[in-house]
């Protein structure tokens, strides 16, 4: 006799009954391989050479260019809320700050080196990563040193970029992150770190799979780093170039990268997964870039969705794809939301 009389037949396939696995908020969270935590987040900061400046960046909602004097008042409350790491970008505004060699990039009195020293002494818990590139400092706005014909001189660029990375490491950066995409720069930087006796404590995070495209617009606005001629398609990857990205990831692993980064994030989730597969034993980072952030803000403003909901949904997608570290302009909000 049946004690649990039911009109539903149970003779069919029961494997299709999925709801029980996620009908409770806790069990929903169990379905994710990785939960977003504050430790995963790196917050990008734009630092100018005018110490007292604090100027909003119009195309990048809630983001500012700040001088070194503004950093501690801004960051101390965020550190109290759980901020673990920042990524520094220099934004030289003095008209004389740019030249063909990007000399200002490792100027000891320049904004990045000043900021590294200040943050290391005043906020010792904060992990300091530094973007390493020349485009903010070159008169032509490209990410390296150019030949007469306007193409990148790879050997000279690697030599210069590895000097800049070393200068940041010497100043106290925990992590150097080359975003220039010159061939062989990971090896060049690693060798200089080894030679200087810093390789055991300075991490090298390579922007290995960095794609060209239209999603860096607000950043170039913020950093004043738009190329004065041409574009970056000869050194940043073509958006369809999955094979190239895989080769770049493998190359950078072999050259000594400690972390592999993919950038942008949401249009390149397959590449993040490729990175996780190829670099199984390395942390994988993804950069939700300025254009992605600005798009989410614009759509939220237009009523397409709720900002917070989309900030979570996009970031969780990036984690699901395989990233364990996310560089994001949403970090201050996440510190409140998490
Ligand atoms: C510098 C650099 C860029 C970004 C990170 N490092 C700009 C670029 O390559 O054009 C983009 C970050 C963003 O858009 O948020 N090479
Ligand atoms: Zn650059």
Spatial CB neighbours of 113, under 8 Å, sequence gap ≥ 6? 106, 107, 167, 168, 171
β-pairing verdict for 64-66 and 203-210:
unpaired
Residue 263 annotated to the active site: yes
Model confidence at 4, pLDDT cuts 50, 70, 90, reads low
219 lines ligand 1 (CB under 6 A): yes
- The pTM (predicted TM-score) of the whole model is 0.95
Cα(135) to ligand 1 centroid in Å equals: 9
Minimum-distance ligand to the CA of 290? Answer: 1
**Continuous H helices in the chain:** 25-30, 71-80, 111-122, 154-171, 185-195, 217-223, 242-254, 269-278, 290-301, 307-321, 331-337
What is the distance of C-alpha 298 from the center of its chain?
21
Q: Which pLDDT belongs to residue 108?
A: 96
Query: Which residue in 61, 70, 111 sits closest to 88, CA to CA?
Result: 111
Q: Which pLDDT belongs to residue 1?
A: 42
How many other CB atoms are found less than 10 A from the CB of residue 293?
A: 24
State the Cα–Cα distance between residues 92 and 135, nearest whole angstrom. 11
User: Which residues are registered as beta bridge partners of 325?
Assistant: 285
Model confidence at 12, pLDDT cuts 50, 70, 90, reads low
Query: Which residue in 130, 128, 178 sits closest to 157, CA to CA?
Result: 178
Cα(219) to ligand 1 centroid in Å equals: 6
3-state secondary structure of 292: helix
- Whether 2 has a pLDDT exceeding 50, the answer reads no
Specify whether the CB–CB gap between 160 and 132 falls below 8 A.
no
63 lines ligand 1 (CB under 6 A): no
Q: Which pLDDT belongs to residue 242?
A: 98
Spatial CB neighbours of 63, under 8 Å, sequence gap ≥ 6? 46, 56, 57, 222, 329
The atom number, within ligand 1, closest to the CA of 216 reads: 14
- Which H, E and C letters describe 21-64, residue by residue? HHCCHHHHHHCCCCCCCHHHEEEEEEEECCCCCEEECCCCCCCE
The atom number, within ligand 1, closest to the CA of 236 reads: 9
- Whether 3 has a pLDDT exceeding 80, the answer reads no
Q: The tokens of 257 are what?
A: 């990268």
38 lines ligand 1 (CB under 6 A): no
289 lines ligand 1 (CB under 6 A): yes
Mean pLDDT of 3-32: 79
Using CA of residue 252, residue 255, residue 257, residue 258, what is the dihedral sign? positive
- Whether 133 has a pLDDT exceeding 60, the answer reads yes
Q: Which pLDDT belongs to residue 14?
A: 73
Q: The tokens of 231 are what?
A: 């574009």
Q: Which of 90-99, 144-153, 253-262, 319-328 has the lowest mean pLDDT?
A: 90-99
ipTM over 0.95: yes
State the Cα–Cα distance between residues 206 and 212, nearest whole angstrom. 16
User: Which residues are registered as beta bridge partners of 207?
Assistant: 261
β-pairing verdict for 64-66 and 54-56:
antiparallel
Task: Give the number of residues written for the chain.
Answer: 338
**Percentage with pLDDT > 90 across the chain:** 89
Query: Which residue in 105, 82, 33 sits closest to 321, CA to CA?
Result: 33
Q: The tokens of 133 are what?
A: 């590139």
Cα(220) to ligand 2 centroid in Å equals: 9
179 lines ligand 1 (CB under 6 A): yes
Q: Which of 94-108, 178-192, 235-249, 269-283 has the lowest mean pLDDT?
A: 94-108
Cα(31) to ligand 2 centroid in Å equals: 38
């Amino acid at each position: 006799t049946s004690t649990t009389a039911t009109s539903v037949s149970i003779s069919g396939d029961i494997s299709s009954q999925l709801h029980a696995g996620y009908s409770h908020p806790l069990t929903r969270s169990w379905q994710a391989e990785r939960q977003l935590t504050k430790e995963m987040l790196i917050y990008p900061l734009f630092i100018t050479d005018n110490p007292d400046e604090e100027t909003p960046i119009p195309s990048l909602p809630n983001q500012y260019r700040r001088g070194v004097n503004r950093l501690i008042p801004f960051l101390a409350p965020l550190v109290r809320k759980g901020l673990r790491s920042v990524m520094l970008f220099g934004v030289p505004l003095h008209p004389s700050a740019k030249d063909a060699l990007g000399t200002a990039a490792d100027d000891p009195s320049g904004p990045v080196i000043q900021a590294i020293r200040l943050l290391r002494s005043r906020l010792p818990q904060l992990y300091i990563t530094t973007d390493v590139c020349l485009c903010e400092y070159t008169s032509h706005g490209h990410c390296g040193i150019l030949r007469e014909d306007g193409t990148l001189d790879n050997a000279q660029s690697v030599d210069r970029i590895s000097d800049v990375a070393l200068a940041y490491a010497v100043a106290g950066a925990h992590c150097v992150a080359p975003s220039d995409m010159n061939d062989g720069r990971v090896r060049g930087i690693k060798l200089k770190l080894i030679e200087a006796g810093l390789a055991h404590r300075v991490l090298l995070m390579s922007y290995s799979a960095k794609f060209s495209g239209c999603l860096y617009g607000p950043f170039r606005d913020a950093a004043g780093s738009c190329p004065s001629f041409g574009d970056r398609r000869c050194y940043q990857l073509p958006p369809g170039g999955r094979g190239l990205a895989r080769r770049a990831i493998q190359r950078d692993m072999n050259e000594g990268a400690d972390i592999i980064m993919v950038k942008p994030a949401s249009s390149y989730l397959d590449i993040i997964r490729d990175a996780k597969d190829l670099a199984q034993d390395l942390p994988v980072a993804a950069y939700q870039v300025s254009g992605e952030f600005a798009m989410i803000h614009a759509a939220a403003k237009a009523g397409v969705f709720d900002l917070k909901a989309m900030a979570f949904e996009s970031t969780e997608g990036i984690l699901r794809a395989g990233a364990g570290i996310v560089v994001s302009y949403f970090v201050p909000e996440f510190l409140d939301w998490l």
